[in-house]
A and B are shown apart, each in its own frame.
Chain A
């Protein structure tokens, strides 16, 4: 039996009918066609599906869509501003070579945003801890760490 849920998605109100077993990732990718959020393992282990729920990171691949009722979801599509200007973290990822294949990038950028919002001037160790739940096979994380440091104005 389908249920209706209401939530805020990238700043806009959304009302959608879903099957109760749906994960948030399935809702985003399959129903709402926001394919910027990636599925790397579907078991909450790689972080490619990271989105923000009320500003905190969650693994959308194991998160029940029903539980976002009344909450605010931010995906990678919602990070640039209304004029399309990229978020400073996105800009830094581009400028510091933090992107290779790019599959981990949306999740990585959102993890970086969540903890920079909480801790605007992190140490390198804090940055590394902050993205420890996001796997990357291409970069060795080094340019990602550099990018996040730069985005924090350090």
Chain B
């Protein structure tokens, strides 16, 4: 059955040649005549009053064009909680606090100028542990921040993360087995291979062009427009132009201090100003995945049916707030809807500390929550004396289910995923040998059909066709390497009856591209894909009408295949697409073949209780792993790694596998090696020698099993697959390690030292 000419094909990425030859232009490569280079001076202390800043020497350094401090800028506030400012005055709250910034004719002079800025501090007591920060008398990060009924100063953020469904206390009483554990997860960095940067440029009328690597062009445009208004530049235009993006993974879902500083310096100097982070800056001054302390209890009946799930979570918010603080709302997804669990209670607190502040990262909280949930599923299964495979199958979600968070599960391949993994691992043979080799599995749920986190979850597409039959697709989506341009190109080509090589996709410029809420929630294939289908259908109708006129047929009798419009009644009656277009353009009273479509999925915002059908469809999956643990060294070797995913339909199996491989590899790093180490608020491993990113030698061969459930709402049946690959990895590995040596590690990463300590403890 090969009904499609573009869908389901292993088509190389549209930009692959450019990238393979080094001709793709990243922010690192961008130079504009007259451009200045910016550098930022960061705080020397995690918590201190700024007594004075003297920039006079820096200003006098030849080549320096401007120096700014927090005392000279308008009150621009940014971030999800609006608690951050581009340059800090009066007080610093973390070591990444920006104190002063320089624009100079080259980066070396800018760097030299930073050394000439003199700052006097009065050191304040600091707090680096969220549980300490919640105590009475703890240092206050933001003295003006109040919370609770009495509106008292507090480090606990006023965020409403609380989900309750059913009666957890009653269910606990009626459970035969109850497991209670504390899990801990820590900071990990996105580690995009290209560091962060931007170029800000004003024109003579004070309109701003921002060369950017954002994942959220339309929302960033609004953030910058708001900032311009605060700068006294109300109603000025903002254009966001994306260069090639060198890795996203959630790191570019917000706007950041350095971008506002670039805007302020560009405005002051009347020159384009570029910022480009060093790798050290990338590690300590961008926002990692946040740490969490997870207290979790789950119960089951005698025959292993889940009765309740009860979670209290404390997250280290750091000193300021980005989307990291909203991950508890997304964690509700696995907490409420991974396996059938009738009673759920979840409360999360985000607490200010003097640490770095966090951002969402691939999975948006679900890897953290899933580590706790699915590690504990194995613990609970053991208590109940049930094989964890059977336990999972017994509780697996099924099509047609409505979960405690009111998610409406339509297509659901979870059981198929669990079965496929068990078969590949030869589970019944290999489980429970306790001989240093072991198998483990864990599952995941993620939004697969958009996620209505804003009032709109929409994306626009414009399609036009030129004189030669080339199809120009102008999309709101953001390709950051995952390949959305190619997938959108395949979808449009299929719908129009042309080949993907006839399609050119543009996504880079807010002056040209339609609106979109951004590349998050694995939503691009689903939402931008459906948007592209809508526009393609309209364009096709126009094409057929134009062709009907010149071919002397009725539009209903015409169709397009392989760049040719033909009569369905008489296939010999046909005309190449380009010829039809030229006929339309050159005719007296001619017409332009062009259409737009805005698609906003039929998903729901969560209500005040955090319930609602957040996504049109959900993506389930299961990872299985076989490990060998060296009892002498504590080293874990992954012998086999299976990743089974319900993907709806694979539009491009090669790119899809790439997402799963990359996601799972990130998950393996999260499980075993990666940790951004903070000591008294300072990142002490801001380089690739000490931050253990996996190399080609460390990564096992990962086998991807594609389960196609052909979702009725997905573009050609597809669900989102950008994040799922990274979600269930850590618990699958933790469970396999337990099966191998009987040691249960509950805090990440699972280092050899922790395994050895566990073995020692067990030997006692």
* A residues lining the B interface (CB < 8 Å): 29, 34-43, 45-46, 48, 75-77, 79-80, 86, 90, 93-97, 99-106, 109, 127-129, 131-145
Contact = CB atoms under 8 A, between A and B. Distances in A.
Interface string B528-553: 00000000000000000000000000
25 contacts: A35-B22, A36-B23, A40-B194, A40-B279, A46-B193, A46-B279, A75-B22, A99-B19, A100-B13, A101-B248, A103-B26, A103-B192, A103-B246, A105-B20, A132-B696, A137-B190, A137-B193, A138-B247, A138-B481, A138-B658, A139-B661, A140-B665, A140-B699, A141-B665, A141-B699
B662 interface: yes
B22 A99 contact: no
B320 interface: no
B28 to A, nearest CB: 6
A97 B654 CA distance: 6
Nearest to A134: B696
A143 B657 contact: yes
Describe A's contact surface by its main secondary structure.
Answer: loop
Contacts of A141: 665, 695-696, 699
B754 to A, nearest CB: 24
Contacts, number: 167
A94 B26 contact: no
Contacts of A77: 21-23
B491 interface: no
Given A40-B193, A77-B22, 13 more contacts: A38-B26, A42-B278, A86-B17, A96-B654, A100-B13, A100-B662, A102-B244, A103-B247, A137-B191, A137-B193, A137-B249, A140-B702, A145-B696
Interface residues of B, number: 54
B481 A37 contact: no
Contacts of A93: 16, 20
Given A41-B688, A79-B21, A140 B12 contact: no
B666 interface: yes
Contacts of B657: 97, 142-143
Interface in B673-704: 687-689, 693, 695-697, 699, 701-702
Which 8 pairs show the lowest CB-CB distances between chains A and B? A36-B22, A102-B19, A101-B481, A140-B665, A76-B22, A140-B661, A103-B246, A45-B688
A19 B246 CA distance: 30
Centre residue among A99, A105, A138 by max chain B CB count within 10 A:
A138
Nearest to B189: A137
B279 A142 contact: no
Given A46-B688, A139-B661, A94 B12 contact: yes
A14 B744 CA distance: 61
A69 to B, nearest CB: 24
Given A131-B696, A140-B662, A142-B701, A101 B22 contact: no
Nearest to B663: A140
Contact of A99 (B16, B25, B192, B687): B16
Contacts of B701: 142
Nearest to A78: B22
B725 to A, nearest CB: 9
Given A76-B21, A142-B661, A101 B687 contact: no
A45 B662 contact: no
Centre residue among B10, B190, B246, B654 by max chain A CB count within 10 A:
B246
Nearest to B20: A90
Centre residue among A35, A75, A79, A127 by max chain B CB count within 10 A:
A35
Nearest to A91: B20
B15 interface: yes
Centre residue among B12, B19, B22, B195 by max chain A CB count within 10 A:
B22
Given A36-B22, A142-B661, A135 B688 contact: yes
Centre residue among B10, B16, B701 by max chain A CB count within 10 A:
B16
A133 to B, nearest CB: 8
B655 interface: yes
Interface of B: 10, 12-13, 15-26, 28-29, 190-195, 244-249, 278-279, 480-483, 654-655, 657-658, 661-662, 664-666, 687-689, 693, 695-697, 699, 701-702
Contact of B696 (A37, A75, A128): A128
Contacts of A135: 191, 193, 688, 693, 695
A64 B413 CA distance: 56
A48 B687 CA distance: 14
Nearest to A142: B661
A94 B662 contact: no
Contact of B247 (A79, A101, A109): A101
B654 A80 contact: no
B589 to A, nearest CB: 44
A109 B20 contact: yes
A83 to B, nearest CB: 13
A102 B191 CA distance: 14
B20 A48 contact: no
A47 to B, nearest CB: 9
B687 A45 contact: yes
B192 A101 contact: yes
A16 to B, nearest CB: 18
A136 B193 contact: yes
Contact of A102 (B10, B481, B697): B481
Contacts of B688: 41, 43, 45-46, 135
Centre residue among B18, B657, B696 by max chain A CB count within 10 A:
B696
B139 to A, nearest CB: 35
Contacts of B29: 29, 35
B696 A90 contact: no
A140 B623 CA distance: 15
B244 A139 contact: no
A40 B22 contact: no
B20 A97 contact: no
Contact of B21 (A41, A46, A90, A103): A90
Nearest to A48: B193
Given A41-B279, A76-B21, A103-B26, A97 B12 contact: yes
B657 to A, nearest CB: 7
Contacts of A94: 12-13, 16-17, 20
A139 B658 contact: yes
A132 B695 contact: yes
